Amino acid sequence: MKTNNIVWSWWDARFGAVITAIPFVVIITGYVEAGLSLLIGSLSAALIGLLPTRAQRRKLVVMGLLWYDSINFVCACGRCWA
């Protein structure tokens, strides 16, 4: 039975924890800018969830990487102009 209400799901909670584990480790090791970029790039995967087919998952990975690269580009431009 499908509901439109917000419900808790342990599977989704574990999925979100696994997705954010690598950026968290990067931030803890001192690379805050790269870690935040990775974290924001992984938001697309966390919001959409695990897609059913490999082709759709590849598109999601590409979208996350593009998001990550665009944030890094903006950070680099900010350093040059500051």
Is 3 part of a structural domain of the chain? Answer: no
pLDDT digits (tens, 9 = 90+) for 32-51: 888 887 887 777 767 776 67
Is 33 part of a structural domain of the chain? Answer: yes
Is 49 part of a structural domain of the chain? Answer: yes
Domain count, the chain: 1
Give φ, ψ of 81 to 5 degrees.
-90, -10
Is 5 part of a structural domain of the chain? Answer: no
Q: Give the domain extent around 19.
A: 10-81
Report d(CA 6, CA 43) in Å as an integer: 18
Is 18 part of a structural domain of the chain? Answer: yes
Is 48 part of a structural domain of the chain? Answer: yes
Q: At what angle do helices 54-81 and 32-48 cross, to 10 degrees?
A: 150
Is 4 part of a structural domain of the chain? Answer: no
Q: Kindly report the pTM of this predicted structure.
A: 0.55
Is 69 part of a structural domain of the chain? Answer: yes
Q: Residue 57 — very low, low, confident or very high, per pLDDT cuts 50/70/90?
A: confident
pLDDT digits (tens, 9 = 90+) for 18-35: 888 888 899 999 988 888
